[in-house]
Chain A
Amino acid sequence: AQTVTQSQPEMSVQEAETVTLSCTYDTSESDYYLFWYKQPPSRQMILVIRQEAYKQQNATENRFSVNFQKAAKSFSLKISDSQLGDAAMYFCARDGGNQFYFGTGTSLTVIP
């Protein structure tokens, strides 16, 4: 089965601090893509960052970066200098063939 696991249903972080959201996945493929999507209270799904599995370098997008450990099948998201607008549900996802597989999500609260 193609699974994506997010083991932290809820996380909280103080404003301006750093938080890391965890994600592990299962795959038998050697090349694939991984994604983090953000879903704020508006329910709109927004792509935060993506990583290609064969690239060793971890992807970064401004305050968002990933720690990609291919052997461990781990893909965590680090949010630096957290802002109130970062409060949202975050979903980890990976592709498989022409399909996409999402985790169960982590709800992030940002404390002022």
Chain B
Amino acid sequence: EAQVTQNPRYLITVTGKKLTVTCSQNMNHEYMSWYRQDPGLGLRQIYYSMNVEVTDKGDVPEGYKVSRKEKRNFPLILESPSPNQTSLYFCASSLSSSPYEQYFGPGTRLTVT
């Protein structure tokens, strides 16, 4: 089954404790992206990747890191999480960038206390 998986689905952590949210797709997609969703703000793009070893900043990259060492994986790293990073995070992938449909993962609910 074609899908985007994210782990963990829920995470509660404390300020400053490094964490990684994994994202994996099995569709051989070139384009992958991370978004955060906050009430009243919609989805905002954090980072995106056009292909292996090619990543670029979206609109809200501060406090986040990504890497794309393999085509299928695109982890999101928070090296020192802060409470303002409490959010719902989505990973997405598509064949390439627009106009292709983005396939979204199920989301990761992150709470930083």
Whether, in the assembled complex, A45 has its beta carbon less than 8 Å from a beta carbon of chain B, the answer is yes
Query: Could you count the A-B residue pairs with CB atoms below 8 Å apart for me: how many are there?
Result: 52
Contacts A45-B102, A95-B97 supplied; 7 other A-B pairs, CB < 8 Å:
A4-B42, A9-B40, A95-B99, A98-B97, A99-B45, A102-B44, A104-B41
Write out, one digit per residue, whether chain A residues 50-83 have a CB within 8 A of any chain B CB (1) or not (0): 1010000000000000000000000000000000
Chain B residues touching A, range: 20 to 34
| Chain A positions near chain B (C-beta within 8 angstroms) | 4, 6, 9, 32-33, 43-45, 47, 50, 52, 91, 93, 95, 98-105
Interface of A is mostly: strand
Question: What 8 pairs between A and B have smallest CB-CB spacing?
Answer: A95-B98, A45-B104, A102-B43, A104-B42, A33-B99, A98-B97, A102-B42, A47-B101
Write out, one digit per residue, whether chain B residues 21-52 have a CB within 8 A of any chain A CB (1) or not (0): 00000000001010100001111110010100
Chain B positions within 8 Å of A44 at CB level: 104, 106-107
> Is B40 within 8 A of A99, CB to CB?
no
